[in-house]
Amino acid sequence: MSAFVVEDKTINRAVSFLATDRDGDWLRRFIQDNLGIDLTTGIGRETLGKLMFSLNCDAVNQRYGDNQAEEFRSLDYAFRLECVVNRIQAFKSLQCWHYQCSEGDIDQNNLYQIMERVQGHMAEMIVTRLPAYDSLAWA
């Protein structure tokens, strides 16, 4: 497997969605309860983004060796709220970040595990809102 350090927009799309989605109260509470990060604040959004970026760099360094993350890109991550965030694009961005973090022992990291649960909940949100889902029987 290979890994790379994702672009800022990859993390920012996911964080922006989590912070602003009208149906995302459960996700925001889950993150607050498990990570102590309040996504209703700019500081909370920036904190989550920086933690996600740092974990991605740690995964790349575990894959390729110490200080190798900076070979992929400058390590100057900056959070910027993405105003137009499509639910599926946000999910795909989170999925990309998550995959790029799956090196070494990163899967034992609390942030990685919490975001894995968030990713699963986002997938459920997407599927249960599809017209095809509504048209099917429960049993």
Instruction: Give whole-number Cα distances, 39 to 31, 113, 116, in Å.
Output: 8, 18, 17
Of the ranges 60-69, 118-127, 130-139, the best mean pLDDT one:
118-127
CA–CA distance, 8 with 21 (Å, rounded to integer)? 19
């105003």: which residue's tokens?
83
pLDDT digits (tens, 9 = 90+) for 5-21: 999 999 999 999 999 99
pLDDT digits (tens, 9 = 90+) for 26-54: 999 999 999 999 999 999 999 999 999 99
Instruction: Give whole-number Cα distances, 69 to 53, 62, 122, in Å.
Output: 11, 9, 28
